[in-house]
Amino acid sequence: MIGRLNHVAIAVPDLAAGAALYRDTLGATVSAPQAEPDHGVTVVFIELPNTKIELLEPLGEASPIAAFLAKNPSGGIHHVCYEVDDILAARDRLKTGGARVLGDGEPKIGAHGKPVLFLHPKDFNGTLVELEQA
């Protein structure tokens, strides 16, 4: 069911410093920062040959990564995102398998403009899993 690893998301307290680290120290290609006010984050994309890393900095009052950064002040890996062909079919299969979908269980339009769901980390070995309809 799951396909490509779409991205690994890393929450950072300082996006400019995180971007400089990946660009200058690790020598990767880093996009310009992109504010996503509807998703409560500003993001830069680290473009790797086979996938991407997203560095996320909180934006606004109710950022979904604020609590994570309060617990992990220097940042950390926040979630992984797998692509699926049909997000409703994926959701139904997961629910049948006993996995919990976060929120009201309905896909939302994610930061890439595509339908996404998040799965409960307690059901996936402590890993927050995002599914994105590719």
Contacting residues toward a second copy, per CB under 8 A: 1-5, 8, 10-13, 18, 21, 24-28, 48-51, 53, 55, 72, 74-77, 80, 82, 93-94, 97-99, 121-127, 129
Cα distances from 70 to residues 5, 12, 115, in angstroms, run 27, 11, 28
Quote the tokens at residue 40. 């409560």
* Known catalytic membership, residue 61: no
| Smallest distance from a second copy to CB 32, Å | 19
| Smallest distance from a second copy to CB 92, Å | 12
Q: Which residues pair with 84 in a beta bridge?
A: 133
* 78 close to 60: Cβ distance less than 8 angstroms: no
| Smallest distance from a second copy to CB 112, Å | 16
Active-site residue, from 54, 57, 130, 132: 130
* Alpha-carbon span 5 to 52, nearest angstrom: 9
Catalytic residues: 130
